[in-house]
Amino acid sequence: MVVIILFAAGITAPLAAQSSNAGGEPTAILEYFDDPYEVHVTDKDGFEYNFYMGMELVPGDEVSTGASSAELRLVPNGSIIRMAPKTDFAVESIQGRSGATQSAFRVNTGKIRAVAAKVTGANYEFRTPGAVGGVRGTDFGIQVIPGEIESLFVREGSVEFSKAGGESVTIAAGQMANTFSQVFQAVPVPAGQMQQLFSGLQFQELKPESVPGQQASSEEQTQPAEEQPADTETQTVEPATPEQEGAFGKAMSRVGEFLGMEIGAVTIDGQTYSKLILQPQFTVGKLKASLYLPFIYTNNLFDSSDWYHPAGNDEWSFGMDYNWRSDPWNAVQDLATDLSLKIRYLEYAEQRDPFYIKLGNLNDMTIGHGIVMRNYANDSDFPAVRRLGINMGIDFGNAGFEAVVNDVAQPDIFGGRLYFRPMAKLIPLAIGFTGIADINPAGVLPTDPASGATAATDLVRQADPAIVGTAVDFDLPIIERDALSLVTFLDAAALIPYLREPVGSFGTGFQTDAVWDRDRGKLHNYGTMAGVLGNVTFIDYRLDFRTFNGVFHPFFFNGSYDRLRGNYAAQMYDFLTDPNASQFSGQTMGVYGEAGFNLLRDKFTVKAGYLWPWYINSAGGFAYSDQDYLHVGAIVREGLLPLGVHGSISYDRTGFMPTIMNKGDFGDAKLFDANTVVTGEVIYPVAPSLDLALVVTTTVLRDESGNIRYDSNGDPEYGPSVSIESRIGF
């Protein structure tokens, strides 16, 4: 349906816009874009439009292109503008509209081409962060890389280009100027370089020859070279067409759109490696994908025995570690594992869309409203541990399902949710049933006493438990629109352990006593959650009230679960042994709130959430619980800070306030330990195709076989992973 609407809008809107502007106020028309999912149009207050081809833009509107290009046309003036991908372009004024005496535009970052109409009285101004170009009927381009390049280059006509300090130059056809050059002046540009400057700026929908006053000039450009005056001071340069670029040039242009490379160093498990990583990236509409082709080595890039082997696996053997004739099954498994490790991610759409899928190293795997699994991360120790996980869902209308697998090659954590809408024609109420299992949580527990193994952990390993989270939920959307949505929900969940081997007084199978207290005749080791979620324009929100006890807590499978799954297995065994112990007997409750929003025209994104928990103690009073949870994340995109610096940071922590207050079980904890997942990167663009990045994460330390290392107290050891890398885009 969305595709049909966009298609219809693309056909009819330009005609409607043309007719509606006949005799109306001057305006700018968004005539063309490649990909509606890669273009964002916002007003002067930062609110994002539901845009379409043929939409009228007014002063204060801003167009940001991702992997798409876009084209504008001024009405009734006839001038046209093309924006290359990764461009931030703003309309500041339109001559003749609201008393404006000129048409003014701003290029914050990226590259544009403008063909200005030669109309009597027409006055144009194109601004960059540090300069302004005064334009008459001209065909020219502008490129802005914040802090590095602010250049203007002219194909036809001339432009008065002025720096913020007042210094100005006149740029004629075949010339350019850059405000960041040591000498600010107009310089001749060789034909090949001019073709490169105009690369990607060929109009797809609009025609330069249709711009008033450009037809004659266009015909002059086709005049044979021998008829051109020999003493012409400046020669106009026609940008290369795809046919002129040749097969090799077209091929390299295609490659440059998706091929990226990292060169640098990375620290894994306390050891520093050099790395060369190829990361091709693809974006087609809602589909995003990236490969991960790593060469991580100690000293010699060309010696495969010197390469880093995640969990002891030679990921470049592709099954050759085994004999295909005598051991075909293991060879096939090894081949599948090695191939899966080359997928960084593949994503299509988002949760609550009719169809969504995510594959690869993921940090936001969620099922339903998240009471059992929310933002589970199978990449918390990337790149030391890499997995091909799956999170997907299909909504058929009356029913649907969601599914998750932590690692296709070695699935330890998996499950899903089935939901139904029995009265879909009357009310969109959905009833869902969830089951998520970790079939090997004790497999990560230590076996060596020097690493924290004890008689208790030996019993847990002997029992070989699986932890199964089950839930039922109710989902009732009040309104679901792009600009406004409100969804109410009610969830209830419990943890049920399954023992494969008998231990002590426990037999094999599901241990239902972990959910139903026969002596007291009541439930335990469960949780409930009720709340609302949705968005208001550019703000996403969530607010819920929850209560839980025993080992269970909402968001049980979360970002730090992989690091603590062995501890949870031990806690579950302790709970089975003594469910009335003080650490399990209290009833914890709390309020969780979360909000995320974009500021400064999507240049700055913030998301934060906090769980404020309390519990009823043995005396019947209320006390603050140690199990609070904090999530903070921020993204600073290119164009906001000086010199093009940008980056991101994410911090997730259980027991945040108790750690600060040195309270309870967190008395000796630190803000960066196994209960924390933190990632951050700072990127500095050294050159147009070269970024220098510093990436820091916290990771659990592992041995050569990929097993978690534990300290003498039985807690996972952790350490920072620091990566300094050069990211090259061709």
Q: What is the pLDDT of residue 229?
A: 39
Whether the predicted pLDDT of 284 surpasses 80: no
Q: What is the pLDDT of residue 221?
A: 42
If you average pLDDT over residues 445-453, what whole number do you get?
A: 79
The SS3 call for residue 475 is strand
Cβ neighbors of 720 (< 8 A, separation 6 or more) are: 267, 672, 696, 697, 698, 699
Give the number of other CB atoms < 10 A from CB of residue 302: 8
If you average pLDDT over residues 307-335, what whole number do you get?
A: 86
Whether the predicted pLDDT of 371 surpasses 90: yes
pLDDT band at 362 (very low <50, low <70, confident <90, very high): confident
The SS3 call for residue 70 is strand
The whole-angstrom separation of Cα 90 and Cα 541 is 29
Average pLDDT for the chain: 84
Whether the predicted pLDDT of 579 surpasses 80: yes
Q: What is the pLDDT of residue 223?
A: 37
Q: Which of 75-79, 585-589, 659-663 is predicted most confidently? A: 75-79
Q: What is the H or E stretch that residue 193 is in?
A: helix 191-197
Q: Report yes or no: 197 and 155 within 8 Å, Cβ to Cβ.
A: no
The length of the chain in residues reads 730
Query: 68 pairs with which residues across the strands?
Result: none
**pTM over cut 0.85:** no
Q: List, for residues 490-527, the tens digit of each pLDDT value.
A: 999 999 999 999 998 899 999 999 999 888 888 999 99
193 vs 18, higher pLDDT: 193
Q: What is the pLDDT of residue 45?
A: 82
Whether the predicted pLDDT of 420 surpasses 80: yes
If you average pLDDT over residues 366-371, what whole number do you get?
A: 95
Side chain identity, residue 104:
A
Q: List, for residues 524-546, the tens digit of each pLDDT value.
A: 999 999 999 999 988 999 999 99
Q: What is the pLDDT of residue 255?
A: 53
The C-alpha torsion from 619 through 620 and 624 to 629, rounded to 10°, is 120
The whole-angstrom separation of Cα 32 and Cα 318 is 45
Side chain identity, residue 486:
L
- Among 270-284, 577-591, 592-606, the minimum mean pLDDT is found in 270-284
If you average pLDDT over residues 158-181, what whole number do you get?
A: 90
The whole-angstrom separation of Cα 93 and Cα 57 is 10
Exposure string of 699-712, with b = 16+ CB inside 10 Å and e = fewer, is bbbbeeebbbbbee
Q: What is the pLDDT of residue 618?
A: 66
- End-to-end alpha carbon distance in the chain: 37
Q: What is the pLDDT of residue 74?
A: 95
Whether the predicted pLDDT of 629 surpasses 50: yes
Q: What is the H or E stretch that residue 694 is in?
A: strand 690-700
Q: Report yes or no: 40 and 537 within 8 Å, Cβ to Cβ.
A: no
The C-alpha torsion from 379 through 381 and 383 to 385, rounded to 10°, is -80
477-484: list long-range contacts, CB under 8 Å, 24+ apart.
477/428, 479/534, 480/352, 480/534, 482/50, 483/50, 483/535, 483/536, 483/537, 484/534, 484/535, 484/536, 484/537
The whole-angstrom separation of Cα 288 and Cα 348 is 6
Q: List, for residues 25-81, the tens digit of each pLDDT value.
A: 899 999 999 888 889 999 888 888 888 888 999 999 999 998 889 999 999 999 999
pLDDT band at 125 (very low <50, low <70, confident <90, very high): very high
Q: What is the pLDDT of residue 380?
A: 78
What the chain holds in terms of domains, given with CATH numbers, is 2-250 (2.60.120.1440), 260-292+342-729 (no CATH)
- Among 28-32, 304-308, 726-730, the minimum mean pLDDT is found in 726-730
The whole-angstrom separation of Cα 123 and Cα 159 is 12
Whether the predicted pLDDT of 404 surpasses 80: yes
Whether the predicted pLDDT of 244 surpasses 60: no
181: which 2 tokens? 């050059």
For tokens 């101004």, the residue is 125
For tokens 């989270």, the residue is 469
- Region of residue 252 (left: phi > 0; alpha: psi -120 to 50; beta: else): alpha
71 CB-contact burial (10 Å; exposed 0-12 / middle 13-18 / buried 19+): buried
367 vs 166, higher pLDDT: 367
702 vs 563, higher pLDDT: 563
Peptide bond into 85 cis (omega under 30): no
- The percent of residues above 90 in pLDDT, for the chain, comes to 45
CA angle 695, 697, 700 (to 5 degrees): 145
The whole-angstrom separation of Cα 565 and Cα 277 is 31
Whether the predicted pLDDT of 8 surpasses 80: no
- Among 297-301, 459-463, 598-602, the minimum mean pLDDT is found in 598-602
- Among 50-64, 452-466, 550-564, 608-622, the minimum mean pLDDT is found in 608-622
- Among 163-177, 368-382, 415-429, 700-714, the minimum mean pLDDT is found in 700-714
Q: What is the pLDDT of residue 25?
A: 86
Q: What is the pLDDT of residue 730?
A: 57
DSSP-assigned letters across all residues of 551-596: T--SS-B-TTHHHHHHHHHHHHHHHHH-TTSHHHHSEEEEEEEEEE
pLDDT band at 228 (very low <50, low <70, confident <90, very high): very low
The whole-angstrom separation of Cα 416 and Cα 390 is 11
Q: What is the pLDDT of residue 511?
A: 95
249: which 2 tokens? 């040039």
Q: Give Cα separations from 539 to 48, 458, 477, 602, 608 (angstroms).
A: 11, 49, 17, 12, 12
Q: What is the pLDDT of residue 71?
A: 96
pLDDT band at 147 (very low <50, low <70, confident <90, very high): confident
Whether the predicted pLDDT of 259 surpasses 80: no
- Chain-centre distance of CA 36, in angstroms? 17
Q: What is the H or E stretch that residue 20 is in?
A: helix 2-20
- Among 132-141, 590-599, 701-710, the minimum mean pLDDT is found in 701-710
Query: 623 pairs with which residues across the strands?
Result: 615
The whole-angstrom separation of Cα 75 and Cα 17 is 9
Q: What is the pLDDT of residue 232?
A: 36
Q: What is the pLDDT of residue 317?
A: 87
Cβ neighbors of 449 (< 8 A, separation 6 or more) are: none
The whole-angstrom separation of Cα 411 and Cα 388 is 10
Whether the predicted pLDDT of 242 surpasses 80: no
Q: Where are the beta strands (DSSP E) in 421-538?
A: 430-438, 465-480, 484-499, 509-510, 516-517, 522-523, 526-536
Q: What is the pLDDT of residue 113?
A: 97
pLDDT band at 624 (very low <50, low <70, confident <90, very high): confident
The whole-angstrom separation of Cα 499 and Cα 519 is 22
- Among 408-422, 485-499, 511-525, 668-682, the minimum mean pLDDT is found in 668-682
Whether the predicted pLDDT of 670 surpasses 90: no
The conformation of residue 398, written as its DSSP 8-state character, comes to: S
Q: What is the pLDDT of residue 15?
A: 35
If you average pLDDT over residues 549-569, what whole number do you get?
A: 92
Q: What is the pLDDT of residue 264?
A: 81
Q: What is the pLDDT of residue 282?
A: 79
Whether the predicted pLDDT of 14 surpasses 80: no
Q: What is the pLDDT of residue 165?
A: 76
Q: What is the pLDDT of residue 701?
A: 79
Query: 615 pairs with which residues across the strands?
Result: 588, 623
Which candidate, 498, 103, 552, places its Cα nearest to that of 372? 552
The SS3 call for residue 311 is helix
